[in-house]
Structure 1
Amino acid sequence: MKNLILVTLLLFLISYAYIKIAERFNIVDKPNQRSSHTKNTIRGGGILFLVALLIFFILEGFQYPYFVIGTFLIALISFIDDLKTLSSKIRLPFQFIAIFSIFYQAGIGSFPYYAIPFLLVLGVAFINIYNFMDGINGITGLYSIVVLFGFYLINLELNVVDANLILCTFLSLLVFGFYNFRKKARFFAGDIGSITIAMILFFIGVSLVIATKSPLIVFSVVVYGADALHTLLYRIIIKENLTEAHRLHLYQKLVHVKKWSHLKVSGVYAMLQLSVSISIYYSYDASMWIQYGMMLFFVFFFSLLYYMVFKRIEHTSI
């Protein structure tokens, strides 16, 4: 794609237009006891990720139609959810359809039929985790850039997916970051943003796993996974209602209890993932014994890290 500068300018233009539309129709998040912001902030700015995907789709010969249609569908549902909260009974069927579109596009025949239900549940869990982790300024953008960078390095060697998909997504993250990587963000990603970027990353990740047969690539999102899964386990232990909103994620506690800035927490999460992504790049074609060994190490390391940081935070809050 030779028009990356024009794509960037178009994304800036659309972001400016969206801000004006959101202000006109009051598409804002209002602070509450569960949120991590202190003033009304425009939500849905992550619509840029969908726009970038559609630009790629149109300019690059309508590649990956099932994936794009599935992503557009769930993005639309997510945007409606941004405007008016939808029941999970409405959202979940569309999420399963969207995830199925990814596996169908990437080659669902690569998996045994009995694994498909599990993979669909895993995919839906992933996009929801990505949504839950979108709670402070900078975290979705910075973390996604790092994950995308790791995928780009591997794809550069193998050419599994069109590099322009990665480049367009990267540009949309940079433009989004211009408004979101701030102490006082101009807008948030919203459900449309976090779900859309999760869909894009999941599609690229699944495609790379199928091509390389490397289970290690799954750990390209291990930092998010560690926070989300340990938080879920903690909420189960304290018998909290899992359907209720909360501020128990480790990144939220670092902000609200330790008083770290949003961008500091986002930067730490991104740097941790960057170190993992680089190690994955140098090891994704290693023997399975090495890959499984690294996976066990990551599980142990991030579990221990979570426990140590969590205990320190709990001590601070006493």
Structure 2
Amino acid sequence: MSLPICFFLTVLLIGAELLYLKLARHLGLFDRPNERSAHLNLSTIRGGGFVFYLAVVCAIWISKLSLPYVYLGLTFITLISFWDDISSVPKWYRLAIHMLAVGLLTFQEKAFLDQWWLFAGVFFIGVGIVNAYNFMDGINGMTAFYSLVTVGTLWYWQVQQSGPGENDVLFPCVFVALLVFSYFNARRRAICFAGDVGSISMGFIILYGLLASINRSHTYLPILFISVYGIDTLLTIIYRLYLRQNIFRAHQMHLFQLLVHQLGWPHLRVSLLYALVQLGINGLVILAMNWLPISQFVLVGLIWGSLLIAYVTTRKRIGIVTKKESVLENRLYYIDLKNLENT
């Protein structure tokens, strides 16, 4: 993508974001904290991530990409997600649209249609990735930083596999949109959140990038490009199932949420930590691109094993700290109550 086009796209997306923020304030489209929110600010606009979809539209217009099923699926997901941002949509309606969109995406990448079990696995995991990506939006900078790393890596991987070409314009356009969104979101007090329209559409775009990279490289290594958030999500789901909780309800039990709520870490520190760890993993994956299959398998085991150990250790540490704080609070309450009785 040339510099003039990049400049024009940046100006367009900034203008579109500013216009949306003004319109959203007029219509009262503010984010209302729920069970997974990590903020109490009632003046933050939701839905600012619509620029991701706009970036894809620009990419298609600039280079005339031939991705009809991907674009159709993304449009369906964007519309239902934006509707949900404005007025709550029943979860089964959303899930049905997500399944339709992922089905269209899988059909676009025809390599997964050869065997039904492979198609079913890709379909199930794809729907999970799209839905799980939505939980990032509760932490300032998480969607922005993590997606910049992932999209940037997919862009680099694509260039390495096929060389510079017209198809490469998709990820540069989305990368620019993420930079624009980061300015409004990745700050101590966010001006806007991505909303469902942004986070879920970004999950869908990344899912397309992962499937396309797997198809072209004939290796499943690209799945490691979302391993940090993926391990966090998977282990959190297992833990919630162990507690017999409804995994479809909003919550604050992801590790990155606990770092903010229980340890009091700043949002941007947590977001930057996840992004940097993922960036380091992505670098290892790219180095392993031409390794022997057995070496790649060992690398996958080492990465996933390390992340699992880090997750369990950190969660236990958070539990110990929380328990100590609870005991201290109870002691202080007892002392205050005793002093009150003496007076």
Shorter-normalised TM range: over 0.9
* Residues 1:132 and 2:110 aligned together: no
Equivalent of residue 264 in structure 1, options 269, 281, 305: 269
Equivalent of residue 17 in structure 2, options 15, 18, 22: 15
Q: Partner amino acid for 1:16? A: L
CA distance in 2, matches of 1:259, 1:163: 40
CA RMSD of aligned residues (A): 1.4
Q: Pick which of 157-166 and 40-49 moved more.
A: 157-166
Match of 1:152 in 2: 155
CA distance in 2, matches of 1:49, 1:285: 32
Match of 1:222 in 2: 227
> 8 Å contact 2:10–2:176 — kept in the other structure?
yes
Q: TM-score, normalised by structure 2?
A: 0.89
Gaps of 5+ in 1: none
Q: Where in structure 2 are the equivalents of 1:1-318 lying within 5 Å?
A: 1-2=1-2, 3-32=5-34, 34-40=36-42, 41-108=44-111, 111-159=114-162, 162-318=167-323
> 8 Å contact 1:215–1:291 — kept in the other structure?
no
Count residues with an aligned counterpart.
318
Give a deviation string over 1:187-240, Cα, whole Å, max 9, x none.
000011011111111111101101111111111100011111111111111222
> Cα gap change, 1:247/1:158 in structure 2, threshold over 3 Å: closer, same or farther?
same
> 8 Å contact 1:130–1:195 — kept in the other structure?
yes
> 8 Å contact 2:112–2:119 — kept in the other structure?
no
> 8 Å contact 2:140–2:267 — kept in the other structure?
yes
Question: How far apart are residue 134 of structure 1 and its match?
Answer: 2.3
> 8 Å contact 2:112–2:122 — kept in the other structure?
no
Larger Rg: 2
Q: Pick which of 286-295 and 234-243 moved more.
A: 234-243
> 8 Å contact 1:47–1:189 — kept in the other structure?
yes
> 8 Å contact 1:217–1:284 — kept in the other structure?
no
Question: How far apart are residue 62 of structure 1 and its match?
Answer: 4.2
> 8 Å contact 2:142–2:272 — kept in the other structure?
yes
Q: TM-score, normalised by structure 1?
A: 0.96
> 8 Å contact 1:133–1:228 — kept in the other structure?
no
Q: Partner amino acid for 2:322? A: S
CA distance in 1, matches of 2:144, 2:112: 33
